Structure 1
Amino acid sequence: MTITQLQYVLAVAEYRNFTQAAEKSFVTQPTLSMQVQKLEDELDILIFDRSKKPISITEVGKKIVAQAKNIVNEAERIKDIVDQEKGFIGGEYTLGIIPTVMPTLLPMFLKAFINKYPKVNLIIKEQSTENLIQNIQDGHLDAAIAATPLEIDYIIERPLYYEPFVGYVPKGHRLSSCSKLVPEDLDVSDILLLQDGHCFREGVLNLCKATKKLGEDHFELQSGSFETLINLSNEGLGMTLLPFLNTLELDKEKKENLKYFKDPSPAREVSLIYHKSELKIQITEALRDVISGVIRGAIAFQDVKIISPITK
């Protein structure tokens, strides 16, 4: 039994297809199949039922796959121990970021990080919170940046910053004369929202404590763009809410439509999240230090009220 054989078993278990598992493992399909077969012969059991399409995992195979995950993780931890002992911060590191954070935060820290840690091969993927969670569990991401709290037992959450909600209220809107907003002012029926799947959307709905069913209006918007929401708002179709960092690059005319909340301002908690196994923790800590350093001067708000990114 080898670590490589266990890695191949995990790949087949994930993709339920030997050809695809081989492609993802960067080996030929016959090589991968042969190694999995050798392990099954050694153990004298079947891990996979090949008679079904897609391939299924046998009952004993499920137990072996679960144990294989632990063994592969612990094997990778040995290299981590050596790297930490040598003070080495380098190698491949895959980071996921939610779409409502990626455009604003990434330009703030990426150059500083790659300059400070040139031996880290940073791979960045934009994904929804649901996909980030799944990919952390499956080992496809070393860490992610997402709105929290998520309260998942196998994920560690390390807050990076607290980002206030800001109202974008065009002239002529019922709230345009308000100097400051309070949550009670909000009516979900005239707030333009991101499409389903965005945690910022869920945070806005939680803030509004919405009871109105979405889709009752004469149009239904499905957009992942804050720019689109702003443009529609300027056309008199409602107001919208923005994360604070998204307001920094607005032009002067659009900034005149921004309305801040009275303290404590509703805000989202943005955290660096990773698996409790803490693999590659030295890179994770380095990343957190760099982001915390650059964000400190951008967000000066202190008195905030955290809004959950998920609907309870």
Structure 2
Amino acid sequence: MTLTELRYIVAVARERHFGRAAEACFVSQPTLSVAIKKLEEELDLKIFERGGSEVTVTPLGEEIVRQAQSVLDQAGAIKEIAKRGKDPLAGALRLGIIYTIGPYLLPELVKHSIELYPQMPLMLQENFTVKLLEMLRTGELDCAIMAEPFPDTGLAVAPLYDEPFVVAVPAAHALAQRASISAEELKRETMLLLGTGHCFRDHVLEVCPEFARFSSDGEGIRRSFEGSSLETIKHMVASGMGITVVPALSVPKEPSAHLRYVPFSEPIPTRRVVLAWRRSFTRYEAIAALRNAIYACALDGVKRLS
């Protein structure tokens, strides 16, 4: 059993395809297949079920893949220990971030990270929460910035900030001049939502469960639209197609001629944004440095957490 074989089975489990796994490992498919077959023979069990267009992992294979990832993490930790002896922050940090945080945090975060820790470049991946959790589990990412709640996967978690929600309405809308808006008042409006898969959509539905009813009559939301990004939905709101709810960091610093952002009245709905990483990840200084770079950002309108 070798680290190379373990790396191969982790890649196949991630890609669910031998060809793509071979490409990811920079080897030929026959080389990868032979190595995995050799490992299965050594262990006297099947790690993968081969059939159809997709490879599936057997129940015992799932346990073996998890252990293989742990072994690879520990092997990588040996190199990291050696690096830390020279520079604890040396080397890239692979950071994931969800779609509804990335556009509003990353530009300033990358700037501060380069200024403060030039020896630790950020390798960025923007994706859905469920995909980021999978990439953390398989070791494709070192850490991720996400919003709670998410499934308990045994990750280490550090809170970053609590972010209030804000209502975005067309400038000519009756609510545009209000000092605040209650969640109850939104029931009578046409609501524009992010599509399924975005955790912020779920956060909005928790605040106003009526949005999920897609009611066609006068009760609740009359009609619902789904967008692929907050910025797309904002443009739809500006054109008068409805209203939406956005996180505070997405509110632009410069006033818009077509949009108004109105705060919620008490109780103000919020989401908690956190930094998560595998407990086996040993670059503690890198995690602390990333948090410092995040706290160097303006973070207007949010409550910082220690």
TM-score, length-scaled by structure 2: 0.84
One-letter identity of the residue aligned with 2:283? K
Q: Provide the C-alpha distance between the structure 1 equivalents of 2:181 and 2:304, rounded to a whole number of angstroms.
A: 15
Q: Provide the C-alpha distance between the structure 2 equivalents of 1:266 and 1:61, rounded to a whole number of angstroms.
A: 42
**Residue in 2 aligned with 1:226?**
230
Structure 1: tracts of 5 or more residues without a match: 305-312
Contact 2:113 2:121 in 1 (8 A): no
C-alpha deviations, 1:267-312, integer Å up to 9, x for none? Answer: 22111122222343332221111101214xx3255599xxxxxxxx
Contact 1:173 1:238 in 2 (8 A): no
Superposed displacement of residue 127, structure 1 = 0.4
Residues 1-312 of structure 1: pairs in structure 2 closer than 5 A: 1-48=1-48, 50=50, 54-57=54-57, 61-187=61-187, 189-210=189-210, 213-214=213-214, 216=216, 220-254=224-258, 257-295=260-298, 298-302=299-303
Q: Provide the C-alpha distance between the structure 2 equivalents of 1:198 and 1:57, rounded to a whole number of angstroms.
A: 27
Work out the percentage of aligned pairs sharing the same amino acid: 36
Classify 1:59/1:126 alpha carbon distance in 2 versus 1 (closer, same or farther; 3 Å): closer
**Residue in 2 aligned with 1:309?**
none
Classify 1:75/1:238 alpha carbon distance in 2 versus 1 (closer, same or farther; 3 Å): same
Q: Provide the C-alpha distance between the structure 1 equivalents of 2:255 and 2:175, rounded to a whole number of angstroms.
A: 21
Contact 1:144 1:274 in 2 (8 A): yes
Classify 1:58/1:191 alpha carbon distance in 2 versus 1 (closer, same or farther; 3 Å): closer
User: How many aligned positions are there?
Assistant: 301
Q: Secondary structure at the match of 1:166?
A: strand
Contact 1:263 1:303 in 2 (8 A): no
TM-score, length-scaled by structure 1: 0.82
Q: Provide the C-alpha distance between the structure 2 equivalents of 1:221 and 1:203, rounded to a whole number of angstroms.
A: 16
Moved more, 109-118 or 59-68: 59-68
One-letter identity of the residue aligned with 2:28? T
Q: Provide the C-alpha distance between the structure 2 equivalents of 1:268 and 1:26, rounded to a whole number of angstroms.
A: 40
Q: Provide the C-alpha distance between the structure 2 equivalents of 1:127 and 1:32, rounded to a whole number of angstroms.
A: 28
Contact 1:188 1:212 in 2 (8 A): no
Moved more, 261-270 or 92-101: 261-270
Q: Provide the C-alpha distance between the structure 1 equivalents of 2:51 and 2:240, rounded to a whole number of angstroms.
A: 59
